[in-house]
């Protein structure tokens, strides 16, 4: 009778333990998605900068990507640990005690998941619920006339060409970034801080170091050029090809995550505009280029839909240097596409498609219903910014 009672108590204790872990995981997940905007705003502006500063300061002590090192180590250990787990499982099955072994494995897995979920929400998830930066800046809130769109386009086009003219070129006539990656990373943090301060966007000013990933070439197979690790506050950057049209905006984008923004639209918007308003020509070039491409896409849509004709200057002589930069970037990604297709022939998996699908699900699971489309900045946000700060009426 006493033995049965002890067994019953142990069973109940195990059930309670598993239930608590599951409940905490569910609570963390739901809290991150149901958090009131008012509290999220307070959290992102007051609490997040304090709690995030600790792992970010520790991570910033080295230029080596701790995230990449962890992925490599865990990747190497994954198969041996799985084999060891299976061997022990078989051994327990043959000598009894398999039930206890499975319970301990489940308990440990749930405990790790719980810790990860809590850390993720604290350092990233809660920030999905904050008021968007574009709303703070009152950008992208309405429609514009065609004339206003064209005026903003001309502003972006001229700004892009002016910045491009100040840059050095390599022997192929492709513009080069003014410093090495470490110089880009250090400057980007101050550029984002300056932009947020000047335009009234609440953000963390704690320094977060952007890291270059050594295995960037293989990372390119996923078509992902940057990743923020909320566990240690690292902004990891794909530097296999230092594309001047995208590296500055990408670094600024990932640093926006480290400074309290989770929404991809906001990070792309702030990243581009922080570059536009910077005092480095290579950053301004990348920023204006992002705005130019966005507005050009909208003008092309209007042309197809309504037959509106407008000289976009795409065939102008002045844009030839930009075209060289675009071609250099396209050539790189064409090479990556060939490698991905070769891998698909061998293993039957398209790494790019799988990675983009996984990223899409990740964003949707965090309340970003549009998934990968949240990276797209509404063109009217750029038009609003131009009208408010750069147009003759706005100045």
pTM for the structure as a whole: 0.93
Q: Where are the domains of the chain?
A: 2-129, 134-389
Cross-strand pairs, 391: none
Query: Can you tell me the distance from the alpha carbon of 369 to that of 238, in angstroms, rounded to the nearest whole number?
Result: 26
Query: Can you tell me the distance from the alpha carbon of 386 to that of 155, in angstroms, rounded to the nearest whole number?
Result: 8
Query: Can you tell me the distance from the alpha carbon of 244 to that of 283, in angstroms, rounded to the nearest whole number?
Result: 8
Give me 156's structure tokens: 């972006």
* Tens digits of residue pLDDT in 201-257: 988 888 888 999 999 999 999 999 999 999 888 999 999 999 999 999 999 999 999
* Tens digits of residue pLDDT in 155-170: 999 999 999 999 999 9
Q: In what order do the strands lie in the sheet with 226-229?
A: 210-213, 234-238, 226-229
8 Å CB contact between 381 and 270: no
Predicted pLDDT at 2: 57
* Tens digits of residue pLDDT in 210-225: 999 999 999 999 999 9
Q: Which H or E run includes 348?
A: none
> Residue with structure tokens 């640093």?
255
Determine how β-strand 234-238 pairs with β-strand 226-229.
antiparallel
Q: Which H or E run includes 20?
A: helix 2-34
- What are the helix and strand counts (H, E) for the chain? 15, 3
């Amino acid at each position: 009778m006493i033995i049965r009672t002890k067994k019953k108590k142990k069973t109940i204790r195990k059930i309670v333990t598993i239930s608590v872990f599951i409940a905490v995981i569910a609570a963390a997940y739901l809290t991150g998605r149901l958090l009131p905007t008012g509290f999220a705003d307070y959290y992102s502006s007051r609490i997040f900068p304090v709690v995030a500063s600790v792992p970010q300061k520790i991570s910033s002590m080295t230029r080596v990507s701790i995230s990449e090192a962890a992925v490599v180590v865990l990747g190497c250990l994954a198969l041996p640990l799985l084999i060891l787990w299976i061997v022990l499982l078989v051994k327990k099955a043959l000598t009894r005690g398999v039930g206890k072994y499975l319970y301990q494995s489940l308990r440990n897995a749930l405990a790790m998941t719980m810790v990860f979920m809590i850390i993720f929400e604290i350092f990233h998830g809660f920030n999905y619920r904050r008021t968007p930066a574009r709303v703070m800046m009152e950008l992208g809130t309405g429609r514009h006339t065609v004339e206003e769109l064209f005026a903003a386009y001309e502003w972006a086009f001229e700004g892009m060409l002016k910045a491009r003219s100040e840059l050095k070129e390599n022997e192929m006539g492709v513009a080069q970034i003014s410093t090495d990656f470490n110089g880009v990373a250090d400057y980007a943090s101050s550029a984002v801080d300056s932009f947020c301060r000047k335009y009234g966007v609440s953000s963390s000013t704690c320094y977060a170091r952007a890291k270059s990933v050594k295995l960037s070439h293989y990372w390119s197979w996923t078509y992902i050029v940057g990743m923020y690790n909320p566990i240690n506050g690292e902004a990891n950057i794909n530097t296999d090809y230092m594309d001047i049209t995208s590296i500055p905006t990408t670094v600024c984008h990932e640093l926006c995550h480290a400074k309290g923004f989770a929404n991809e639209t906001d990070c792309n918007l702030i990243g581009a505009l922080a570059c536009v308003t910077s005092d480095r020509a290579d950053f301004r070039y990348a920023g204006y280029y992002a705005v130019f491409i966005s507005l050009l896409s909208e003008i092309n849509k209007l042309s197809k839909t309504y037959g509106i004709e407008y000289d976009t200057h795409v065939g102008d002589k002045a844009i030839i240097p930009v075209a060289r930069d675009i071609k250099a970037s396209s050539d790189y990604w064409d090479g990556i596409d060939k490698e991905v297709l070769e891998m698909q022939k061998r293993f039957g998996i398209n790494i790019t498609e799988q990675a983009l699908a996984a990223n899409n699900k990740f964003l949707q699971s965090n309340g970003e219903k549009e998934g990968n489309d949240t990276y797209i900045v509404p063109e009217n946000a750029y038009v609003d910014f131009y009208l408010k700060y750069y147009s003759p009426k706005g100045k």
